[in-house]
Amino acid sequence: MQLTTEKKSFWLQGISIEKRNKALKLVRDIAEQLKDPMYVEKIVMEPDNIPNGGTLHPWDPITLSHGYPGTIMLFAELDRQFPKEGWDLIAHSHLVEIQKAIEKQGANSISMFGGVSGIAYATSYASRNYERYHIFLQKLNEFVLSQLHLVLNYGKEECGVHPFMYDTIQGATGVGRYLLQNIQLESNLEALKQILNCFINMSNDIEVNGEVLPGWYVPYTNQFLETDKILFPDGNFNCGHAHGMPGPLSLMALAIEQGIEVPGQKQAIRKMIDWLIKWQDEGSWPARLSFKEVVNDQSYHVYPKRKGWCYGNPGVARALYLAGRSLKDQKAMKIALSSYQDTLLQSEEEWDLSSPTFCHGRAGLLQMSIRMAKDEDGEISMQSITKLIDYVMDAYDPQAPFGFKDLQSNEQTSNELNKVGLLEGVSGVLLTLLSLSAVEEPWWDGVFLIS
């Protein structure tokens, strides 16, 4: 099936029908290959599909990052756009595999990308406006609520915070976004307010070694990467959207825009806005700031070259934009927009996005740009969006089982892996391309806290 010019009410305007059809055909072709959940698992579990230096396959059937929740979201979006084609049945077959996996291995985390919040979000997306899966969704929701206290207390023994407590991937920001999407339940509203209060507390100053610091300081022992412990022996302030303060900032802002506010929320947003603006340098933000940099009020670190969602200017700018909008702060919104526009004027080499995927790749930059274009009509050129569409589709490999591979590289190694999840896999790429053919606004990208 092709889109026609008669379908005038596209959610995103300004893209040629030829470009939309090219993207849709590619999505359909690859989606056909992903229909069989057993085939999906077989490909990811091939013996050589392992990161260099690693031992584990990029697969976990119950996680949004690396498993069936990602494919369920993909088929659910296809069902939303083409409800008579049976994509809901395909989504259901993948959901059955999640249920089997939970029975076999259990589910311990409530995080968005590694646990039950992600399963619940994906199942909600596939429920045809909550007409299906009532009992399963209720059980998932009850589990999230029962375990939330463990997340909010994570790392509390240290002065400062732990990313696994607050961040988008594993922490309360991701859980909070699930709750915000399902706020019609009174119990979810109260749980979300607990998270918001936690983030307000995180915005308060703390004293570390005689120095007054923002409460989102991550001490040495709470850094989950060994490289961070080497680079930041006194701890750091994470500025990335995936693991840093911009995640909680975005959640607080989105909550306000839905009429959900607790005392101190706007003040916390204001403090974080001012901090991000202070540490911006020529439109760029560091991935992390060290203890000494913040104490000495001077940044010494090289800014991240990659223009991704997880780290880099676009993710931070999007968070700053949402925060500014929630407070009706035109100055903050203009600073964010200007930084974003500067990014889009750069070359592909300057973007440094070799992977087509969402987290650290091209799809993430495209979807964030689509959101900025929707929110700032005329301020983001559709020529830039078209360039990004081509940039994503240029990474298509007809020889790859899933059409797109996740490329990860550093100075020592380079990897091309078959992944299926939303975060680093083909589901995130295809859902981004499906934004071009949507009539109704999609909400799958809410999990990334960009909407």
What the chain holds in terms of domains, given with CATH numbers, is 1-140+369-451 (no CATH), 153-352 (1.50.10.20)
Q: How confident is the model at residue 381 (pLDDT cuts 50, 70, 90)?
A: confident
Give the C-alpha separation, 338 to 251, whole Å: 22
Task: Tell whether residue 198 is among the known ligand binding residues.
Answer: no
Give the C-alpha separation, 425 to 418, whole Å: 7
What is the average pLDDT across 303-313?
A: 86
- pTM equals 0.96
pLDDT, position 283: 78
pLDDT, position 284: 86
pLDDT, position 378: 85
What is the average pLDDT across 87-93?
A: 99
What is the average pLDDT across 336-353?
A: 94
pLDDT, position 156: 82
Residue that wins the pLDDT comparison between 412 and 351: 351
Q: Residue 148 in contact with residue 167, Cβ under 8 Å?
A: no
Q: How confident is the model at residue 373 (pLDDT cuts 50, 70, 90)?
A: very high
Q: How confident is the model at residue 305 (pLDDT cuts 50, 70, 90)?
A: confident
Give the C-alpha separation, 315 to 317, whole Å: 5
> Is the per-residue pLDDT at 179 higher than 60?
yes
Q: pLDDT tens for residues 227-272?
A: 999 999 999 999 999 999 999 999 999 999 999 999 999 999 999 9
Q: Which of 179, 218, 220, 219 is nearest to 196 (CA)?
A: 179
The three state secondary structure string of 243-254 is CCCHHHHHHHHH
What is the average pLDDT across 326-345?
A: 97
> Is the per-residue pLDDT at 99 higher than 80?
yes
Give the C-alpha separation, 218 to 241, whole Å: 15
Q: Return the residue matching tokens 């101190």.
A: 264
What is the average pLDDT across 33-52?
A: 97
> Is the per-residue pLDDT at 303 higher than 70?
no
Share of the chain above pLDDT 90, in %: 89
pLDDT, position 5: 55
Q: Which of 73, 83, 81, 71 is nearest to 32 (CA)?
A: 71
pLDDT, position 410: 64
Task: Tell whether residue 243 is among the known ligand binding residues.
Answer: no
Task: Tell whether residue 159 is among the known ligand binding residues.
Answer: no
Residue that wins the pLDDT comparison between 346 and 302: 346
List C-alpha distances in Å: 143 to 110, 175, 251.
Answer: 8, 12, 21
Give the C-alpha separation, 405 to 367, whole Å: 18
What mean pLDDT is reported for the chain?
95
